[in-house]
Amino acid sequence: MLIPENQIWMIVVGFVVAFVLAFGIGANDVANSFGTSVGSKVLTLRQACVLATICELLGAILLGAKVSNTIRKGIVDTDLFMTIDNGASVLMAGQVAALGGKSHLYLFVCLSDCKLSSRRYKE
């Protein structure tokens, strides 16, 4: 088995938390992209939701690997975690915790009608 049994729960929790995060990001950012189209009645709300779902999914599939490689190679040195006992578990737990924190932030922002930008620009 490729995945040890004591880490399966982290994968399941990570998947659920990632889904909640995707929902929060979509709820926060779709209005910026499609608000004018729906407001001017060019698209119905249903059409905008379907189009946004397709675009978000394609973006995650087509660009997700590059983002993961940037984090893995350019931001966090994952080789450092392999030098300690249970390093893979520690790294996975950290990733799930980061997903959890960001998903809670997005849910709070969406439910409280606050503004939050998910885009970060390089200067």
What is the pLDDT averaged over residues 31-47? Answer: 90
Long-range interactions of 81-88: CB distance < 8 A, separation 24+: 88/7
DSSP state of 95: H
Within a domain: 44: yes
pLDDT digits (tens, 9 = 90+) for 64-102: 788 777 777 777 777 777 777 777 788 888 889 988 998
User: What is the phi-psi region of residue 3: left when phi exceeds 0, alpha when psi lies from -120 to 50, beta otherwise?
Assistant: beta
Within a domain: 62: yes
Q: Could you give the number of structural domains in the chain?
A: 1
pLDDT higher than 70, residue 115: yes
Could you list the residue range(s) of the whole structural domain that residue 29 is in? 8-108
Q: What is the pTM of this model?
A: 0.69
Angstrom distance (rounded) from CA 31 to CA 77: 36
Residue 48 is predicted with a pLDDT of: 92
Within a domain: 88: yes
pLDDT higher than 90, residue 7: no
Asked if residues 51 and 43 have their Cβ atoms less than 8 Å apart, the reply is yes
Confidence of residue 119 (pLDDT cuts 50, 70, 90): low
Residue 122 is predicted with a pLDDT of: 46
Within a domain: 113: no
